[in-house]
Amino acid sequence: MSERLRIALTKGRLQEKSVEMFEAAGLDCTPVRSPGRRLIHALPNYPLDVVLAKAPDVITYVEHGVCDLGVVGKDTVLEKGGAFYEVLDLGFGRCRFALAVKRGCDFYGTYKTRRVASKYPNVTRAFFEGKGMDVDIIKIEGSVELAPILDLADGIVDIVETGATLKENGLEPIEDVAQVSARLIVNTAAMKLYKNEITDFLFRVERELGGEA
Ligand code: PRP
């Protein structure tokens, strides 16, 4: 008797791409496609229950073992960390973390301590620690591009996908911080307890990844 697995999907952009990939792998995701206000959905043709959650919560659920698997961006993995296996780069949700400043601003051309705004203070701290550089980090919850415009910060560390948001706000990326894409993560105990079920699921997903290459 095969155990039903539970997977947490990051709501929003990654949700759509995850569902597309699972459907290509033969999983009927109809319940997830029309979720209404329900947050957990049993797939009809595969022993998998799908939970929809915000990115940091995906990691929390997988770490605590209430979900066996999760799909979450590398941005959240880098920021939040945690104890789980990161088993696959799913290839979608590609973007990057970049350091950006007001167009023409010489970020490194002063000895003053720089202020950097970000939704990702841990990623920002690690980046500047890697350079041996002391910066003041200001945590912002959204639309970080405002911080340099309002002269709250000298620069930002943020997700850049097309670059349009930076451009439209008079900012420019000056350095890449890290590459980002969606990752499949697995609870460490579940990997052992449900080895056969997880291996079957990974096989199906990997076959799709192979097909795309
Ligand atoms: C992200 C990021 C940038 C924008 C980058 O924000 O923080 O603002 O997307 O995309 P682009 O390079 O294609 O313009 P998001 O849309 O997630 O909104 P948020 O700032 O409210 O989190």
- State residue 213's pLDDT score: 44
Q: Give the model's pLDDT for residue 2.
A: 72
* 3 state DSSP class of 40: strand
Pocket residues: Cβ below 6 A from ligand 1: 142-143, 145, 158-165
Task: Quickly count: other Cβ atoms within 10 Å of residue 55's Cβ.
Answer: 20
Contacts of residues 40-47 at CB distance under 8 Å and 24 or more positions apart, as own/partner, are 42/4, 47/2, 47/3, 47/4, 47/5, 47/197
- Which atom, in ligand 1's list, is nearest to the CA of 143? 20
Report the pLDDT value the prediction gives residue 9, as an integer from 0 to 100: 98
**Contact assessment for residue 62 and residue 183, using Cβ atoms and an 8 Å cutoff:** no
> Which tokens go with 186?
């697995």
Residue 53, token pair as written in the block: 């959650």
Length of the chain: 213
Which atom of ligand 1 is nearest the CA belonging to 165? 14
Structure token digits, residue 212: 């795309």
Q: Which single residue is written with the structure tokens 């979900």?
A: 67
- In the block, tokens 């569902």 appear at 19
CA of 160 relative to ligand 1 center, distance in Å: 7
Mutate to test the pocket of ligand 1, among 99, 159, 171 (most ligand atoms within 8 A of CB): 159
Angle at 68 between CA 63 and CA 69, to 5 degrees: 90
Q: Would you call 7 exposed, middle or buried from its count of C-beta atoms within 10 A (0-12, 13-18, 19+)?
A: buried
Rounded to the nearest angstrom, the distance between the alpha carbon of 159 and the centre of ligand 1 is: 6
CA of 71 from ligand 1 middle (Å) equals 19
Answer whether 114's CB lies under 8 Å from 155's CB.
Answer: yes
Q: 97 CA to middle of ligand 1, Å?
A: 11
Label residue 78 exposed, middle or buried (CB < 10 Å: 0-12, 13-18, 19+).
middle
**d(CA 165, ligand 1 centre) in Å:** 7
Q: What per-residue confidence (pLDDT) applies to 212? A: 53
Please tell me the predicted confidence (pLDDT) of residue 211.
65
pLDDT of residue 1: 55
- Ligand 1 atom at minimum distance from 13 CA: 17
Whether the Cβ atoms of residue 204 and residue 88 lie closer than 8 Å to each other: no
Alpha-carbon distances, residue 79 vs 82, 90, 97, 158 (angstroms): 10, 19, 11, 12
For atom 3 of ligand 1, the residue with the nearest CA is: 159
| Average pLDDT along the chain, 213 residues, taken 10 residues at a time | 90 95 96 90 97 97 98 98 97 97 94 96 98 97 96 98 97 98 98 97 92 54
